[in-house]
Structure 1
Amino acid sequence: MGKNLKVGIAGAVIVAVTAVLLLVSFQKNRNEAGFQPEKKGVYTLRFGHNITEDSAMHLAAVKFASLVQERSSGRLMVEIFPNQALGNDNQMVEMARAGELDIVLTPTAKLSTLAPAMQYADLPFLFPDRDDAYALLDGEVGSLLLAQLPAHGLIGATFWENGFKQFTANRPIHGPEDFTGLNIRVMQSQMILDQFKAFGANPVPIDFHQTHQALKDGVVDGQENPLVAIHNMRFHEVQSHLILSNHAYLCYVLSFSKKVYEQLPQDLQGILFSTARELTAFERTETQAREKTFLENIQKSGTEIITLSEAEIARFREATAHISEKYRDVIGEDILAKTEQYLNEQHPQRKQEGFIVGLNADLSLASSQTGLAIKRGMEMAVEEINLAGGIFGKPVRILAMDHAGIAARARQNIKKFGAIPNLLAVVGGQRSPVMLANLALIHEQKMVYLVPWASASEIVKNDHRPNYLFRIAAQDEIAGPVLLKNGLAISPHIGFLLENTAWGGSVRKELSAFLAARGMKPCAVESFDKEQDTMLPQLQRMVQAGARVIVLAAENQEVSTVARDLAKLSSRVSLLLLGGNIGADLEKRWGQNGAPMDVRYVQTFSAAVNMSKKKKEFMERYQSRYHATLLKHDAMVDAAAHSYDLICLLATGVKNSENLAPESIVRALERIPRHEGVVKLYSPPFTEQRHEALSEEDLGVTLFKQ
């Protein structure tokens, strides 16, 4: 063992022992007295972070301490412990959660063990520039991230920064292949590990304060960090090259111990929170201002500085493109959808390359899982189209907008889509009421609108000419009778439980007409409001009225509610689902309170219906691309298959249209003679009189757990 390494280890031991003694002292004081004013209403708060005292972040922390003391008239005193004086990041976070440390600044990646979505800023090449990072983190996206912390004992106030991350190495780096075989120091984060594995490197998690020694001893060959860390920790002194890549953004969350924060008077809470947010701009400006000096000093030290070209960055971006998709479920479709929408609006050039296909769906609330499945089907189709040369030699891109199940927001999105000159079509989501509310606007905009799930018959069966809507889905006019035929085989005593919306009214009309044609009527009809927390009263009244079969027209969340409450009933009834997706909650409710529930639903594509070679290949590709495990009753893949076929049909129609005018695309879609899709062989998919691609023979009723 070399002398320098021994000294380094000895120093580390001294720091660790000091941190333990401080921690024990703090814990002893807090455990003996609890958190309370030391005298006359004065509170002394301890603030820990991992950055050196000559950093912009520490300067901002000092300014924070001064301001809160001034604004509280001395009732708040803040003691700052920089440079891991109290322990490493993980230790300080645990101290704060336990109420043993009051304020903590933590890299977002280190918080991801508690809130996995905090890996967001580590997504490779997510932010085009700092202003975009600030707008997103200070806006709705940042609020969604911070809102996840209270459940873990922290109150997140704001995002401070260390800046964009850069590479250092002992060789020039111009492309992903230059990392092949190198050992690269990383912080403990699965996403960052995956990033360097995508480059062909061997990522090695090492504590931040041990990185310099590891680089010096050759344990690792390179690392990534912002300029402030590279300069202040002197990493450049033991690396021959600094590569300016701006490949990810390192931000810190300033958070308060929830246990401590909630014990403070409300006015002091407000001072802490508002001051932290106010100083965010100061801290960021100070960080940026120092970076020029850092670069000058690094260059003077003899380290060679390489700035990646746009072409080189594009190669890195391509190598890591799969990472955002892999972590989409971890970070949250709502967060990523809002990010993509912001970036497309702020950077119009992203929309000007090739052709655009829009997605106007709920990507954040009750039906977001269906929205995500629809988006995935679109992505799979667009990938194939672009690999085959695009449309007229131009690439096709997806532009997703989240309407969160709100008709007014969907309306705004439609208007935004209508202003895009290279738009081919828009794909809708799950919510029938949202689409029904915007039918007139869709036709005013002359917008080709593709429907992969929303089932209300009136969506496509409308009075508009030309009709711009085309559907591949189990629409109510055929799915309802298919379910009722199955239900009548169980019992003639059928009741309807319907969403209290225009869609619910449409379903009631369709189902009642079917029964009336057979001289029958429902024995009970009940309705419910969206997000109603219990359906037990409606279910009890239906059972008392004699219902032995219940047709439920509901979205995903309400299906789970009904399943939960149905398990509480002593009477056994059969449940026929119309519109909603089978969810994991139904699995949990299965077999509660006695015998398993009799639940049946309509499928158009997935494993419970016919399994052709093309379907099997699609499902295998879906699972591989999205790291998804598909269950037999996973109806999400139906939504993906519907949107996949719609996009493929759109591409065929556009290529055969006289021009790119919406009316011409409509005519071309109506004239496609034959198309082999994954859902079925369409022959033809649409005609001038029929914009519904599926018929009764394409539907199957599946018994859950069959």
Structure 2
Amino acid sequence: MKKLLTKRTATVVLGMTVSMSMLLSGCGAKNDGGTASGDKAAPAAAGKKYTFRLADTHPDNYPTVLGDKKFAEIVNQKSNGRIKIDVFPNSQLGEEKAVIEQVQLGAIEFTRVSTGPLAEFNKSYGVFSLPYIFDNEEHEWKFLEGDKGKELLDSLEASKLKGLAYYDSGARSFYAKKPLNSVDDLKGLKVRVIQNKINIELMEALGANASPMAYGEVFSALQTGVIDAAENNFPSYYTSNHYQVAKNIILDAHQRVPEVLMISKNQWDKLSDDDKKIIKDAAQESVKTEREEWTKFEKESEAKVKEGGATVVEVKDSKPWQDKVKPVIDKYREEYKDIFTAIDAARK
């Protein structure tokens, strides 16, 4: 009987020890720094240990997710394993708007999101929804890497977010069930758009009818004729299988909407200056990987949709398209005056 009680007592003690360990380890972002009472203090250079989460809506191995993973890898290396970032792709932690709100609260530490939904949290980001403001990829990145682009990243702090780096997402173009050879072919078409004011005004300027709807509904809407057309970048056109039901894409590149890698301002403020530098530098270094993966995937996507029977039309002269949307640009020019000035300067 005495042996039985001893075994039971040992089991209870062991269970209490495990429970206490789990409580101390916490959940979500873990801070494993500090030393036990009576122990010698750890060297300051060692720093605290963290485990963070990074949310992404795109599927695993998508260029942005590969950028996320490279970022996490570099942070882990630079911190000698102290800072671990777990990447959660495929909307595992929620859709972009909901995730942004969680990052504001510090419930999720990192995310990669499109500048599209960011406009709801920072009005300046609405400029990226305006059509044809960038001539090409080089023009866009010259702006993003310039002073105004960096200023836009820093301006997110007012929304309890900390911008770390821009990622590439190519250019958005129109695709439809009927052939598209010029801007006039959009006239009267029902085109799916992201729900925002500028996109609706853009469709009106092009003579089309805006049909806002969730991204997941687009395939069936095209298939059944609820809509005639949609718009997106090449990889999304391919991975969504939209090319199977809307086999005509015209590369007008009406929008270049970059992505942003960011951290909760709440969490950022708790980091040491050394750890802030590690995270900021790693974010910037990861851009090269993401852009290389984007370029590669874009080419692969174009080849795949052509193999699948899609017709791809190049736009050699953007002026007719720009002329059509000029009223939209003029309407917002004063509101985004400083940003337009920087975009124009990047063109020279």
TM-score, scaled to structure 2? 0.84
Unaligned runs of at least 5 residues, structure 2: 1-22, 35-47
- Per the TM alignment, residue 268 of structure 1 is displaced from its structure 2 partner at its CA by 1.5
In 2, the alpha carbon distance for the partners of 1:256 and 1:203 equals 34
2:67 alignment partner, SS class: helix
In 2, the alpha carbon distance for the partners of 1:210 and 1:83 equals 17
Match of 1:645 in 2: none
8 A Cα contact 1:161 1:252, kept in partner? yes
Q: Which amino acid aligns with 1:283?
A: E
Match of 1:339 in 2: 343
8 A Cα contact 1:110 1:189, kept in partner? no
Q: How does 1:238-387 map to 2 (within 5 A)?
A: 238-310=245-317, 313-330=318-335, 332-343=336-347, 345=348
Q: How does 1:641-680 map to 2 (within 5 A)?
A: none
Q: 1:43 to 1:184 in 2, by over 3 A?
A: same
Q: 1:155 to 1:221 in 2, by over 3 A?
A: same
8 A Cα contact 2:30 2:51, kept in partner? no
Q: Does residue 104 of the first structure (1) align with residue 111 of the second (2)?
A: yes
- Per the TM alignment, residue 147 of structure 1 is displaced from its structure 2 partner at its CA by 2.6
Q: 1:164 aligns with which of 165, 168, 171?
A: 171
In 2, the alpha carbon distance for the partners of 1:214 and 1:34 equals 39
Q: How does 1:60-459 map to 2 (within 5 A)?
A: 60-310=67-317, 313-330=318-335, 332-343=336-347, 345=348
Deviation beyond 3 Å, 4+ runs, structure 1 = 32-36
In 1, the alpha carbon distance for the partners of 2:262 and 2:160 equals 10
2:169 alignment partner, SS class: strand
- Per the TM alignment, residue 175 of structure 1 is displaced from its structure 2 partner at its CA by 3.0
8 A Cα contact 1:154 1:257, kept in partner? yes
8 A Cα contact 1:144 1:335, kept in partner? no
In 2, the alpha carbon distance for the partners of 1:286 and 1:33 equals 32
- Per the TM alignment, residue 120 of structure 1 is displaced from its structure 2 partner at its CA by 2.2
1:74 alignment partner, SS class: coil
Q: 1:78 to 1:35 in 2, by over 3 A?
A: closer
Q: How does 1:600-639 map to 2 (within 5 A)?
A: none
In 2, the alpha carbon distance for the partners of 1:97 and 1:135 equals 29
Q: 1:42 to 1:217 in 2, by over 3 A?
A: farther
In 1, the alpha carbon distance for the partners of 2:265 and 2:162 equals 6
In 1, the alpha carbon distance for the partners of 2:271 and 2:334 equals 36
Q: Which amino acid aligns with 1:334?
A: D
In 2, the alpha carbon distance for the partners of 1:238 and 1:231 equals 11
8 A Cα contact 1:35 1:260, kept in partner? no
In 2, the alpha carbon distance for the partners of 1:290 and 1:190 equals 30
Q: Which amino acid aligns with 1:316?
A: W
Q: How does 1:484-523 map to 2 (within 5 A)?
A: none
- Per the TM alignment, residue 33 of structure 1 is displaced from its structure 2 partner at its CA by 7.1
8 A Cα contact 1:155 1:258, kept in partner? yes
1:79 alignment partner, SS class: strand
In 1, the alpha carbon distance for the partners of 2:68 and 2:253 equals 25
Q: Which amino acid aligns with 1:221?
A: D
Match of 2:31 in 1: 37
Q: 1:56 aligns with which of 53, 57, 63?
A: 63
In 2, the alpha carbon distance for the partners of 1:209 and 1:229 equals 12
Q: Which amino acid aligns with 1:327?
A: Y
In 2, the alpha carbon distance for the partners of 1:294 and 1:120 equals 27
Unaligned runs of at least 5 residues, structure 1: 1-28, 346-706
| 1:167-224 deviation digits (Å, cap 9, x = unpaired) | 1111122333322222211112221221111112221222333333333343322111
Q: Which amino acid aligns with 2:339?
A: I
| 1:441-495 deviation digits (Å, cap 9, x = unpaired) | xxxxxxxxxxxxxxxxxxxxxxxxxxxxxxxxxxxxxxxxxxxxxxxxxxxxxxx
8 A Cα contact 2:28 2:53, kept in partner? no
Match of 1:506 in 2: none
Q: Which amino acid aligns with 2:269?
A: E
1:54 alignment partner, SS class: coil
8 A Cα contact 1:56 1:287, kept in partner? yes
1:188 alignment partner, SS class: coil
- Per the TM alignment, residue 146 of structure 1 is displaced from its structure 2 partner at its CA by 1.6
In 1, the alpha carbon distance for the partners of 2:270 and 2:30 equals 8
Q: 1:209 to 1:267 in 2, by over 3 A?
A: farther
Higher RCO (CA < 8 A, seq sep 6+): 2
In 2, the alpha carbon distance for the partners of 1:188 and 1:38 equals 43
| 1:391-449 deviation digits (Å, cap 9, x = unpaired) | xxxxxxxxxxxxxxxxxxxxxxxxxxxxxxxxxxxxxxxxxxxxxxxxxxxxxxxxxxx
Match of 1:603 in 2: none
8 A Cα contact 1:48 1:105, kept in partner? yes
CA radius of gyration, larger in? 1
Match of 1:628 in 2: none
Q: Which amino acid aligns with 1:142?
A: G
8 A Cα contact 1:176 1:200, kept in partner? no
- Per the TM alignment, residue 255 of structure 1 is displaced from its structure 2 partner at its CA by 0.9
8 A Cα contact 1:154 1:258, kept in partner? yes
In 2, the alpha carbon distance for the partners of 1:299 and 1:67 equals 36
8 A Cα contact 2:71 2:285, kept in partner? no
In 2, the alpha carbon distance for the partners of 1:44 and 1:162 equals 28
TM-score, scaled to structure 1? 0.42
In 2, the alpha carbon distance for the partners of 1:200 and 1:314 equals 16
Q: How does 1:535-614 map to 2 (within 5 A)?
A: none
Match of 1:595 in 2: none
Match of 1:432 in 2: none
In 2, the alpha carbon distance for the partners of 1:212 and 1:135 equals 35
- Per the TM alignment, residue 35 of structure 1 is displaced from its structure 2 partner at its CA by 5.3
Q: Which amino acid aligns with 2:320?
A: R
What is the percentage of aligned positions where both structures have the same residue?
25
1:84 alignment partner, SS class: coil
In 2, the alpha carbon distance for the partners of 1:142 and 1:208 equals 28
1:204 alignment partner, SS class: strand
Q: Which amino acid aligns with 1:181?
A: G
In 1, the alpha carbon distance for the partners of 2:161 and 2:216 equals 25
8 A Cα contact 1:52 1:232, kept in partner? no
- Per the TM alignment, residue 34 of structure 1 is displaced from its structure 2 partner at its CA by 8.8
Q: 1:178 to 1:98 in 2, by over 3 A?
A: same
Q: Which amino acid aligns with 1:164?
A: A
In 2, the alpha carbon distance for the partners of 1:209 and 1:69 equals 35
In 1, the alpha carbon distance for the partners of 2:155 and 2:227 equals 34
In 1, the alpha carbon distance for the partners of 2:29 and 2:247 equals 50
In 2, the alpha carbon distance for the partners of 1:260 and 1:209 equals 32
| 1:484-537 deviation digits (Å, cap 9, x = unpaired) | xxxxxxxxxxxxxxxxxxxxxxxxxxxxxxxxxxxxxxxxxxxxxxxxxxxxxx
Paired residues, number: 311
- Per the TM alignment, residue 82 of structure 1 is displaced from its structure 2 partner at its CA by 1.1
